[in-house]
Structure 1
Amino acid sequence: MRINVLQHTPNEGPGMIADWAHAHGHTMYVYHPYQFGVLPTADETEMLVILGGPMSPNDDLPWIKQERRLIQQLLDRNVPLFGACYGAQQIVKTLGYPVTKAPAKEVGWAPVYRQSTVIPGIPASLSVLHWHEEMFAVPDEATLLFSSDRVANQGFVFNHRVVGLQFHLEPAADNVREMVVNDGRYIAGSALKQTTAEILQTPVPSQNQQVLNTILDYITTE
Structure 2
Amino acid sequence: MWVVMTRKVAILQNITREGPGLLLNVLEAQSVPYTLCDLSQGDPLPDEDSLLAVVILGGPDSANDNTLKIRQELQLIRQVLKRQIPYLGICLGMQLLVKAGGGKVLPCHTPEIGFRNGNGQFYRVQLTQAGRQDPLLSGVSRTFPIFHLHGETVELTTGMQLLGIGNDCPVQLVKVGTKAYGIQGHVEITETMLKLWLKEDPDLIRLGNAEGILRDFHALKSELHTAGERIFRNFLMMINP
Q: Do they fold alike, i.e. is TM over 0.5?
A: yes
1:161 aligns with 2:174: no
- 1:1-222 to structure 2, matched below 5 A, reads 2-109=8-115, 110-115=123-128, 116-117=131-132, 118=134, 119-183=137-201, 185-187=202-204, 195-202=209-216, 203=218, 204-221=220-237
Please state whether the residue corresponding to 1:187 is helix, strand or coil.
helix
Q: Is the 8 A contact 1:4 1:48 kept in 2?
A: yes
User: Which runs of no fewer than 5 residues in structure 2 stay unpaired?
Assistant: 1-6, 116-122
State the Cα distance separating 1:189 from its structure 2 match: 7.7
Contact 1:114/1:122 (CA < 8 Å) preserved in 2? no
The structure with more helix, counted as a fraction of residues: 2
Q: Kindly tell me: are residues 49 and 79 of structure 1, through their superposed partners in 2, closer, same or farther at Cα, counting changes over 3 Å?
A: same
- 1:217 deviates by 3.4
The TM-score, its normalising length taken from structure 1, stands at: 0.91
Say whether the 8 Å CA contact 1:58–1:99 is kept in structure 2.
yes
**Distance change >3 Å, CA 125–CA 189, structure 1 → 2:** farther
Query: Deviation per CA, 1:38-95, whole angstroms, max 9, x where unpaired?
Result: 1111111111110000010111101210111111111111111010000111111110
- Contact in 2 for aligned 1:161/1:220 (Cα 8 Å): no
Larger radius of gyration: 2
Letter in 2 for 1:167: G
Q: Distance in 1 between matches of 2:205 and 2:104?
A: 25
Instruction: Tell me the distance in 2 between the aligned counterparts of 1:179 and 1:189.
Output: 12
Superimposed CA distance per residue, residues 131-158 of structure 1 (whole angstroms, 9 cap, x where no aligned partner): 0010112332222122221110111123
Residue aligned with 1:113, SS: strand
Structure 2 residue identity aligned to 1:199? I
Instruction: Classify 1:216/1:138 alpha carbon distance in 2 versus 1 (closer, same or farther; 3 Å).
Output: farther
- 1:100-136, Cα deviation, whole Å (9 max, x unpaired): 0012111011222222312321212111110001011
Q: TM-score w.r.t. structure 2 length?
A: 0.84
- What is the root-mean-square deviation in Å for CA atoms of aligned residues? 1.9
Question: What letter matches 1:111 in structure 2?
Answer: R
State the identity as a percent.
26
Note the residue ranges of structure 1 that are not aligned, 5 or more in a row: none
